[in-house]
Structure 1
């Protein structure tokens, strides 16, 4: 299963970076000189990147086509890799910026904002699925009560990782929420680890430590790999963490470099040169490579080295879109319709598309199924955004604007 970002993934994680809300002006926070040492660009690199929003739209389109017409895009699940990397990048740069501005990170405020961003819309989806299961005979929603319980506490990925054979029906109606579990478990652990690194070590050591952490999941996958461990590797947070950490590594690296640093020019040049090839390779994988099927040696390579390789491609794209907003790819992805959908609807599209697929399949819809899925999913995403997500996002921003300015990190 692939995921749109809650963002990572996937979901629009960048929403929490807004400094102001409607009718609320955020008071300036004092800069902590000691905290800012080593991260001179952290605060300046917190604005929206419209190209990333457009990339979300591109990726969520792959997700929908993959689930409706898997023969057309057998490798469309690669979109989850892209979303994980985006999520790791956005979350990390926001955390570092808060540390630099305030001299600490309010972890409870961070977790509260994550809850307001993700959970209300997810609970609404779970409620609808349970209602359909209890009031209709639609086979696509059988077992929704158990699936909803697992999804609501972000444990779908854990259950799927423990199933050695074919996936059971335990999570089927909401199986796509496995990636939300991966991201939420990462969000629970990574801020703690990052805060520890920021408070104990210099910026260079933080960067090297993040890079080292990117390698550990690869080594762990190599230890775990057998064909029977495919579900364990595909759904595990520990085995997919390098894709989120790749985005985190980009955020740490860019926060360390001043605008006049020659290394930044080098990154800007090479990320721009490699952006189109990276996007082309990701598209080729989506088009030609059935990453969730058993293909012998190729599958072993994919489930070990391939996951990190795709994370590197995704990180290259993220770097180029951040540093080169004026180039052709950035301007294409930043087109208003693409950026608006990615910014506001990507999470809702991801949440609703898979239940819509199951609904149409239960009703026996064959002709025009892809078009029907797109239309109905967009309608549900719009309803979710305006009726649920937007009001809760406003509450999160108000709380962020009015919250106390901590002198040190709080847990």
Structure 2
């Protein structure tokens, strides 16, 4: 492959990092996660029957799978691009920069949670639970802490379980990319086999120990990350294959239609379904959607138009901030609105969530990301840049 061809290929795949539809898909996912956790302030027994529209409030697990697919695809693609430029140092610098950027935002949240615990008399969590939870979140080991002691963790940082999985996964993925970058087919085989094994293992854990244990086992939740990584490995380093380019619009549209159908199924199938066919279908559908959107889907077709809706793209760009702060705010409002009617409580929740997220995203995040960029300029003449909001929640 010539230098010009390789540059063109990199450009083609880099578009995914600035893709409005991909941001919109991320925005839709974080909206579903926020609504899924709204039971904290809007209990199930107070909700009217929604029928097939119940997926709006029940699609959190499918949304997490979609988040993980997006993260797996974009981050793996950037790791591979970094390897192309600087074999060993590039991926390591990128991983470190990404992790530091996420960690600094997490630490801002943890300071707020700690101060709330100290100053708010309605926060009755024990000192042991608070200290152990905050340390586990800060060290990205919260998933193992929750798995071993689920009742000993603070509930307001519970969703950060998924962020720990995300960070741990990409630490392992980076090592594999550095070691096996020249043997891309081996990496792709690892991803393919890994996806099958994860889906099979999740089903076995569910059958043997139930959905609760399967939900808390990290290996059972990385199928989206593995699928996204596999797609990036398949497509990186060459111009978009002709069959993908020809069918990108169909891949995006068909994948998104299947994803929506899977979401609707959550209104009728409990969480048990997610650990079987529903979870696998959601991951495959999200992967097809991301591959199509990132590789030439017609911007005038229905799926890119819908996902490019500005509120969704804005929400997607702020998805990490929303993910970090929504549950602490839910818990804060719940404690301070006991006895309130449902509508005033929901209004208070929405207003506080919007105010906090906008303030953090506009005032704190630029400072964090600017500091990270300045720090890493000292390590590299051409620092590895990262698009905002990749994690999700990872991220949860």
TM-score when normalising by structure 2:
0.81
What's the counterpart of residue 171 of structure 1?
154
Q: In 2, Cα distance between the equivalents of 1:382 and 1:156?
A: 26
> Would you say the 8 A contact 2:77–2:232 is kept in 1?
yes
Q: In 1, Cα distance between the equivalents of 2:157 and 2:108?
A: 13
Q: Deviations along 1:336-367, whole A, 9 cap, x unmatched?
A: 33212311x21111111101111111112443
Bigger shift: 212-221 or 347-356?
A: 212-221
Q: In 2, Cα distance between the equivalents of 1:383 and 1:184?
A: 25
Q: In 1, Cα distance between the equivalents of 2:33 and 2:367?
A: 27
What's the counterpart of residue 46 of structure 1?
14
- Is 1:244 equivalent to 2:225 in the alignment? yes
Q: Deviations along 1:62-107, whole A, 9 cap, x unmatched?
A: 1121111464523433211111111101101101111223344434
Residue 317 of structure 1 is aligned with which of 289, 310, 315?
289
What's the counterpart of residue 60 of structure 1?
30
Unpaired runs of at least 5, structure 1: 1-30, 292-298, 407-411
What's the counterpart of residue 157 of structure 1?
143
Residue 274 of structure 1 is aligned with which of 237, 254, 259?
254
1:237 deviates by: 2.7
> Would you say the 8 A contact 1:32–1:101 is kept in 2?
no
- Is 1:131 equivalent to 2:115 in the alignment? yes
Residue 186 of structure 1 is aligned with which of 169, 172, 179?
169
Structure holding more helix per residue: 2
Q: In 2, Cα distance between the equivalents of 1:245 and 1:193?
A: 13
Q: Counterpart of 1:106 in 2: which secondary structure?
A: helix
> Would you say the 8 A contact 1:147–1:171 is kept in 2?
yes
CA RMSD of aligned residues (A): 2.9
Residue 101 of structure 1 is aligned with which of 75, 85, 89?
85
Q: Deviations along 1:215-247, whole A, 9 cap, x unmatched?
A: 121232344344535344223332222210111
TM-score when normalising by structure 1:
0.78
**TM alignment of 1:269-308, pairs within 5 A:** 269-291=249-271, 299=272, 302-308=274-280
What's the counterpart of residue 233 of structure 1?
214
1:273 deviates by: 4.1
Unpaired runs of at least 5, structure 2: 45-53, 383-396
Q: Deviations along 1:353-408, whole A, 9 cap, x unmatched?
A: 101111111112443333332221122112222332212212333455664379xx
Count of residue correspondences: 359
Q: In 1, Cα distance between the equivalents of 2:203 and 2:137?
A: 29
1:168 deviates by: 0.8
**TM alignment of 1:7-406, pairs within 5 A:** 41-47=9-15, 48-69=18-39, 71=44, 72=54, 73-139=57-123, 142=126, 143-163=129-149, 167-199=150-182, 201=183, 203-226=184-207, 228-259=209-240, 261-291=241-271, 299=272, 302-323=274-295, 324-326=297-299, 327-343=301-317, 345-363=318-336, 364=338, 365-368=340-343, 369-399=345-375, 403-404=379-380
Cα 1:286/1:399, change in 2 over 3 Å: farther
Bigger shift: 306-315 or 364-373?
A: 364-373
> Would you say the 8 A contact 1:141–1:358 is kept in 2?
no
> Would you say the 8 A contact 1:39–1:256 is kept in 2?
no
> Would you say the 8 A contact 1:282–1:310 is kept in 2?
yes
> Would you say the 8 A contact 1:40–1:255 is kept in 2?
no
Q: In 2, Cα distance between the equivalents of 1:307 and 1:283?
A: 10
Cα 1:247/1:255, change in 2 over 3 Å: same
Q: In 1, Cα distance between the equivalents of 2:232 and 2:283?
A: 14
Q: In 2, Cα distance between the equivalents of 1:279 and 1:371?
A: 30
> Would you say the 8 A contact 2:66–2:286 is kept in 1?
yes
Bigger shift: 172-181 or 361-370?
A: 361-370
> Would you say the 8 A contact 1:74–1:289 is kept in 2?
no
> Would you say the 8 A contact 2:99–2:167 is kept in 1?
no
Q: In 2, Cα distance between the equivalents of 1:122 and 1:148?
A: 10
Q: In 2, Cα distance between the equivalents of 1:231 and 1:113?
A: 34
Q: Deviations along 1:149-179, whole A, 9 cap, x unmatched?
A: 221112221122235xxx4142323111111
